[in-house]
Amino acid sequence: MRIFSWNVNGIRSVWKNGMLQKFISRHAPDILCLQETKAEREQWEVDLPRYQEYWNSGERKGYSGTAIFVKKGIKVIKVENDFPESIVNRFGIGKDNFGNSNKEGRIITAEFENFFIVNVYVPNAKDDLSRLPLRYNSWDPALLAYAKSLDKIKPVILAGDFNVAHKSEDLARPKQNEGRKGFTKEERQGFQKLIDAGFVDTFRIFTKESGHYTWWTHWANSRARNIGWRIDYILVSQKLTAKVKEAKIHSEIMGSDHCPVSIVLSE
C-alpha cells in the first residue's frame, strides 16, 4: 500500500497548474493525505473518479484545510474531523488571536481495517512566535494524547505538515535558525514526545544523513540550491515499523513550496 502526504499550498492552484494530475498519474497513491487545501469541496470543480474523498475545510475561507483521498475498493470504516471534544476540553484547544485552531480544518482521521491515518496540518508558530504557546501548551500535547488513545485500539499512521524541523539534520541552516519558528526548543520537544511515545519517523528508518528537505522558501532560489527544511513527516506506531518497506521524499514533484513524502506499507 502506497501512502503519500503533501502540503499542496492550495489544491485549486496545484490542479490548475497540472501538477496534481501529473503526480497522481505517476504515483497512483492508494491513500493520499493533503494539507493546506485552502478550499471547500464545492469550490473544487474536478472529480477524481478512482478516489473516495474526505475533506475538512476550515471555517475561514481560503485558509488551512486537510483532505484524504482513498482509492475506491479500499474500505474506509469511519472518518472524523478535528480533535474530539474530550481532547479539546482536556487541553484547552480553543480561540487565540488567530482563531479557533480546532475549526481550521487541521486534522482529519480515517479508520481502516488495520490502522488509523491521522492527517495533520499543525499550526505555524508565526514569525513573532505568537502562536508558540498554542503549540507548546495545547496543540502538541493534544496530538500526542489523541494519537496514543487511538493506538490503544489499532496502530496509527500520523502524516502531514508538522511545521517543525526535528533535529539539526532536518534543515540546511540550523545555527542561523535556532530559536526561530519551526526550530524552537518547544516545537522540537513537542515532536520528540511523539518519538518517545513510540511513533517512528519512517524516513529516518532508511535515511540518516542530512540534505533531504520537504519545504523551501520562495526566496533566493532556495529550492534549486536545496536550502530547505524537513517539516513534513509520516510517523507510524512502533508495531507497524516492520511493515514499512520504503519511505521517500519526492523533491522532484513541483507545484507547491512543499514536496510529497511517502511510505510503502506491506499488506
Domain ranges of the chain: 2-265
- Provide CB contacts within 8 A for 3, sequence distance 6+: 29, 30, 31, 32, 33, 117, 157, 159, 234, 262, 263, 264, 265
pLDDT-derived band of residue 43, with 50, 70 and 90 as boundaries? confident
Active site residue 170: no
- Separation of alpha carbons 147 and 99, rounded Å: 24
Lowest mean pLDDT of 42-51, 77-86, 249-258, name the range.
Answer: 42-51
* Catalytic option among 51, 54, 121, 233: 121
What mean pLDDT do residues 192-200 have? 98
Residue 45 has pLDDT above 80, yes or no: no
- Separation of alpha carbons 245 and 266, rounded Å: 7
Residue 197 has pLDDT above 90, yes or no: yes
Note the pLDDT tens digit of each residue in 135-187.
999 999 999 999 999 999 999 999 999 999 999 999 999 999 999 999 999 99
Q: Which CATH architecture has domain 2-265?
A: 4-Layer Sandwich (3.60)
Q: pTM, whole model, 2 decimals?
A: 0.97
Active site residue 121: yes
Predicted pLDDT of residue 44: 78
What mean pLDDT do residues 237-245 have? 98
Residue 47 has pLDDT above 80, yes or no: no
C-alpha cell at 166: 526535528
* Catalytic option among 82, 151, 161, 201: 161
Predicted pLDDT of residue 41: 85
